[in-house]
Amino acid sequence: MNDFNEVQELDIQKLGQLRDYFASYRSLPSYRYMQDQLNMKSKDTISRFVSRLKLMGFLDMAPDNKLIPGKRFFERPLSNTTVQAGSFTAAYSEGGDYITIDEHLVKKPSITELIPVAGDSMRDLGILDGDTVIVEKRPLANIGDIVVAIIDDKFTIKTLGKEKDLFVLIPANPDFDIIRPREAFGIYGVVTGQFRSY
């Protein structure tokens, strides 16, 4: 266990356990609980482990001296290999980078909201019932943007279009009609991304 890479690998495994714990309970375990769950024999071993993770930016301390996630705690591996939806790709490649989901999907946190999608009027653009869209809240959009619009105090997600001098809201499903608002409607925000879980 003196080999540096072996020690590092063990830390990464135990960091994974801390991340799983946090995902379940939205907090980090006490040192005592950590000692039992991570199978570390002494408080000194736990203390050194926590110190290493703090140095690497995975853990931090709150002003009240409670252990909290650090800046890198929510990083996830980003493979440098793609997965093909057609022909095959090499199964595994060493390397890659680390990113947070926020870093990848959220460009402007102060104006970003996550909105669940209900219905399938945008299915041909791959936005399905049950998906969550990432929306930058702003009242202006460009033609061709996917927008969340407000009509009669109700949300709808469509592509912003124009017919003659009037804005229209275009679905991505032939079973739905183009919406041609008779009165003014509002743009709540522009869709910048989406995600779903299975």
Burial of 133 (0-12, 13-18, 19+ CB in 10 A): buried
Q: Which of 43, 158, 164, 197 is catalytic?
A: 158
Find the DSSP H helices in the chain.
Answer: 4-25, 31-37, 43-55, 101-105
| Exposure string over 54-89, b if 16+ CB within 10 A, otherwise e | eeeebbeeeeeeebeebeebbbeeeeeeeeeeeeee
Q: Which of 30, 43, 54, 121 is catalytic?
A: 121
Active site residue 121: yes
- Residues in Cβ contact with 47 at an 8 Å cutoff, skipping those fewer than 6 apart: 31
- Tell me which residues are annotated as active site: 121, 158
